[in-house]
Structure 1
Amino acid sequence: MMKRVKEVAELTGISVRTLHYYDEIGLLTPATTETGYRLYSKDDLEKLQQILFFRALDFSLKKIKTILEEPDFDRMEALNYQKEILHEKKQRLDKMITMIDKTIQNVKGERSMTDQERFAGFDFSQNPYEQEARERYGDEAINRSKQKINSLSKDEKNKLGHSFDSIYKRLADLRNGSPEAAEAQKAIHDWYEFLNGKVGYHYTLEAFEGLGQVYVDDERFTKNIDQYGEGLALFMRDAMKVYADRNK
């Protein structure tokens, strides 16, 4: 039995607006009635389930669309792959939960805790965005960035983090104004200089403008950036474009 968009939204817990957006970008395109109502078939719901599995694993909508449109896409293979990743994620979470329990006991004075136990649940050896970054900017650029950051001392890394945080907070305070304003452009200039001076990779103005577009196109970037203030990613995209245009 076909389901209307409101029924699908209630069934899945995602918004009608999100379903409309999936249709607009060609990710999930249901049939429509003569009066314009969207009707979702069983196949559409199975495809939506796949989309939501990939979203839960932090895949971008663009990447999901590419995967699902592959001629040799195999649903069973995808499900087994998703299950494998979720098992790995569960193991990491279980380790962190165990570490938190031990830390709580330590704080209560119920047990002592070694330095090794204190950090046993953390694993930063794999960066989930690294492969995507390599595809966008090239292996040489990413290798230089990693080498630069890894060469820093703990104190230097902390200072780098504070500088990053400070620039984002400045930009967040300006996000409701014009991206062309002098103060906004000064903050974006500082962001451009920070990237080129601190992460071991030189961004051309074109690459800098493209990076700003990534902030909006990739929901993961948008979500992280907008933690400093709703709409910041969009503001930065616009301000970075203005900066690139003015300085070419």
Structure 2
Amino acid sequence: MRVKEVADLVGISVRTLHHYDEIGLLIPEETTEAGYRKYSQDNLTMLQQILFFKELGFPLRKIGEIINDPSFDRQEALMLHRKMLLERRRRLDGIIATIDKTIQHSKGEIEMTDKEKFAGFDFSSNPYEQEARERWGNAAVEQANDKVGKMSKSGQEALSEGMNDIYRKLANLRGTSPQSAEAQAAIGEWYDFLNRLGSYSSEAFKGLGQMYVDDERFTKNIDQFGEGLAQFMCEAMSVFAENNSKE
């Protein structure tokens, strides 16, 4: 297909395709002696992948790094795109429902509680993935996504409950010293839990604990199990990392 045909098919401009070619993001299968760009089916497949990443807010430079990485797995990427878009749809559906109720409320047709007025504004649903990627690279995050994505619904529920059990155990210990044997045993369970999903070094584990207190979204989420839990975990994770730095 020629560039104009591709542009018409996809709904983007010819200039955009020219730009993708110029920056090495999407190089046509062939460029004729007359300078006409010709795109193959493989080109179209890659263009679709680029647009999926773009829809999710990835900058072009980052998209290029991802798709040109020899370890890039298109099938895995598609599954991740799907999960991220489903989460976006879930949040949008919640906000739309709140808008509909607000319209009815403004007409005097229904009453709304203060809590209902803010339903759908879910700022705690997985806001941390990008930070984790930037701080420790993609490996641990992608590995965790892959493992969780392959689990059955019951498996995912069991995973969530296991996570909450550790949070509750740590919450019951937050009045003790982070260096105590009980606290270190419990935080060791958290370390083992995370490493069943990804691959966290002692240093990365310590850095994650620091993020629990540096980022108010982490703090708010964790402190649901008990006020001060995020700070307690941060300190306990630091001690654990120092004690296990040779591992």
TM-score bracket, normalised by the shorter chain, equals 0.5 to 0.7
The answer to whether the 8 Å contact 1:99/1:121 transfers is: yes
What is residue 6 of structure 2 aligned with on the other side?
A: 8
What is residue 40 of structure 2 aligned with on the other side?
A: 41
Letter paired with 2:21? D
- The normalised TM-score by structure 2 is 0.53
Aligned length: 146
What is residue 19 of structure 1 aligned with on the other side?
A: 17
Letter paired with 2:69? E
Letter paired with 2:11? G
| Residues 1:103 and 1:114: Cα distance change in structure 2 (over 3 Å) | same
Q: Give the secondary-structure state (helix, strand or coil) at the position aligned to 2:42.
A: helix
Letter paired with 2:57? D
Runs of 4+ in 1 over 3 A off after TM superposition: 127-135, 139-147
What is residue 85 of structure 1 aligned with on the other side?
A: 84
What is residue 28 of structure 1 aligned with on the other side?
A: 26
What is residue 111 of structure 1 aligned with on the other side?
A: 110
Superimposed CA distance per residue, residues 203-225 of structure 1 (whole angstroms, 9 cap, x where no aligned partner): xxxxxxxxxxxxxxxxxxxxxxx
- Aligned partners of 1:15 and 1:146: how far apart in 2? 40
| Residues 1:85 and 1:15: Cα distance change in structure 2 (over 3 Å) | same
- 1:45-56 maps to which residues of 2 (within 5 A)? 45-56=44-55
Q: Give the secondary-structure state (helix, strand or coil) at the position aligned to 1:14.
A: coil
RMSD value, Cα? 2.7
The answer to whether the 8 Å contact 1:9/1:15 transfers is: yes
Deviation at 1:79, TM superposition (A): 1.2
Letter paired with 2:13? S
Deviation at 1:129, TM superposition (A): 5.6
- 1:55-74 maps to which residues of 2 (within 5 A)? 55-74=54-73
Letter paired with 2:48? Q
- Aligned partners of 1:18 and 1:115: how far apart in 2? 46
- Aligned partners of 1:128 and 1:107: how far apart in 2? 37
- Aligned partners of 2:74 and 2:128: how far apart in 1? 26
- Aligned partners of 1:52 and 1:14: how far apart in 2? 10
Which has the larger Rg?
Answer: 2
Superimposed CA distance per residue, residues 152-182 of structure 1 (whole angstroms, 9 cap, x where no aligned partner): xxxxxxxxxxxxxxxxxxxxxxxxxxxxxxx
What is residue 163 of structure 1 aligned with on the other side?
A: none
Superimposed CA distance per residue, residues 189-245 of structure 1 (whole angstroms, 9 cap, x where no aligned partner): xxxxxxxxxxxxxxxxxxxxxxxxxxxxxxxxxxxxxxxxxxxxxxxxxxxxxxxxx
Deviation at 1:66, TM superposition (A): 1.1
- 1:1-248 maps to which residues of 2 (within 5 A)? 3-30=1-28, 31-125=30-124, 126=127, 130-131=131-132, 134=135, 146=215
The answer to whether the 8 Å contact 1:4/1:38 transfers is: yes
Letter paired with 1:17? R
Letter paired with 2:38? L
| Residues 1:107 and 1:128: Cα distance change in structure 2 (over 3 Å) | farther
Letter paired with 2:60? L
Letter paired with 1:29? I
In structure 1, the gaps of 5 or more residues are 151-248
Deviation at 1:146, TM superposition (A): 4.3
| Residues 1:18 and 1:128: Cα distance change in structure 2 (over 3 Å) | farther
- Aligned partners of 1:133 and 1:73: how far apart in 2? 17
Letter paired with 1:107? S
- Aligned partners of 1:95 and 1:102: how far apart in 2? 11
- Aligned partners of 1:10 and 1:131: how far apart in 2? 38
